[in-house]
Chain A
Amino acid sequence: GAVVSQHPSRVICKSGTSVKIECRSLDFQATTMFWYRQFPKQSLMLMATSNEGSKATYEQGVEKDKFLINHASLTLSTLTVTSAHPEDSSFYICSASGDPNEQFFGPGTRLTVL
């Protein structure tokens, strides 16, 4: 199957700082990537859909000014959590669609905001 990487795998930051998470499709081109959030012992919730060369589409209730998404190329999407606060602490996972529509997920990034 296709491989998706994420970096960093774990980050601890102070409240008020910004954190950038990278998501790369390593062996295929992904015109669309997705960002999910998972709280402990809960399911995954879609945050936004990232399309190469255009603005991201955010799900209802997700603050687009807090969670900045950039899809600069067919293999790279980034999520920046701006002015992070403790309630933003979570497990963030990206995915990319292969062919035809099967999605492949990155290993996730565990964010802890102190």
Chain B
Amino acid sequence: GIQVEQSPPDLILQEGANSTLRCNFSDSVNNLQWFHQNPWGQLINLFYIPSGTKQNGRLSATTVATERYSLLYISSSQTTDSGVYFCAVEEGAPGTSYGKLTFGQGTILTVHP
């Protein structure tokens, strides 16, 4: 099956700093999503981004499907950004989908005031 690697595994920032999280995957994908898991365990959808670039407030993401990676950018970080960030992919060629997501191991982000 497809392999998903996230880096870095841990990231500690001061409030206001910017950061980049990376997700590498080993095969073609027809779905890629970024999530933030809050301290209560809820997965919050950040981006659905199988290709291209999207922005939502202080967050943006870019997926380069041909090179098999995606990046999540967090600007002007806040303490509320702390938590675990997951990248998840669905293996397959564009246009085919069974919905099964494979998750990376996550990046634990800690933002200090």
Whether A93 and B43, one on each chain, are in contact in the complex, defined by CB atoms closer than 8 angstroms, is: yes
- Is A61 on the interface with B (CB-CB < 8 A)? no
Name which of A18-26, A65-73, A97-105 contacts chain B: A97-105
Could you tell me how many residues of chain B have their Cβ less than 8 Å away from some Cβ of chain A?
23
- Neighbour of A91 across the interface among B35, B41, B101, B106, CB < 8 A: B41
Whether B103 and A43, one on each chain, are in contact in the complex, defined by CB atoms closer than 8 angstroms, is: yes
**When chains A and B are docked, how far (Å) is the Cα of A91 from the Cα of B35?**
17
Whether A108 and B41, one on each chain, are in contact in the complex, defined by CB atoms closer than 8 angstroms, is: yes
The chain B residue with its CB closest to the CB of A108 is B41
**When chains A and B are docked, how far (Å) is the Cα of A34 from the Cα of B97?**
14
- Given known contacts A101-B31, A103-B33, A108 and B42 CB-to-CB distance under 8 angstroms: yes
Q: Classify the secondary structure of A's interface with B.
A: strand
Whether B99 and A43, one on each chain, are in contact in the complex, defined by CB atoms closer than 8 angstroms, is: no
Q: Could you say which residues of chain B place their CB within 8 Å of the CB of A110?
A: 41
**When chains A and B are docked, how far (Å) is the Cα of A43 from the Cα of B45?**
16
- Neighbour of B90 across the interface among A44, A101, A107, CB < 8 A: A101
Residue from B43, B86, B97 with most neighbouring chain A CB atoms (10 Å): B43
Within the complex, what minimum Cβ distance (angstroms) separates A14 from chain B? 23
**When chains A and B are docked, how far (Å) is the Cα of A46 from the Cα of B33?**
15
- Is B112 on the interface with A (CB-CB < 8 A)? no
Whether B99 and A49, one on each chain, are in contact in the complex, defined by CB atoms closer than 8 angstroms, is: yes
- Given known contacts A101-B30, A101-B31, A103-B33, A44 and B103 CB-to-CB distance under 8 angstroms: yes
The chain A residue with its CB closest to the CB of B47 is A102
- Neighbour of A102 across the interface among B45, B98, B105, CB < 8 A: B45
Chain A interface residues toward B at CB < 8 A: 1, 32, 34, 38, 42-46, 49, 91, 93, 95, 97, 100-105, 107-108, 110
Known: A38-B41, A44-B43, A95-B43. 13 other contacts (CB 8 A): A42-B105, A45-B103, A46-B102, A91-B41, A101-B30, A101-B48, A102-B33, A102-B48, A103-B31, A103-B88, A104-B45, A107-B41, A107-B42
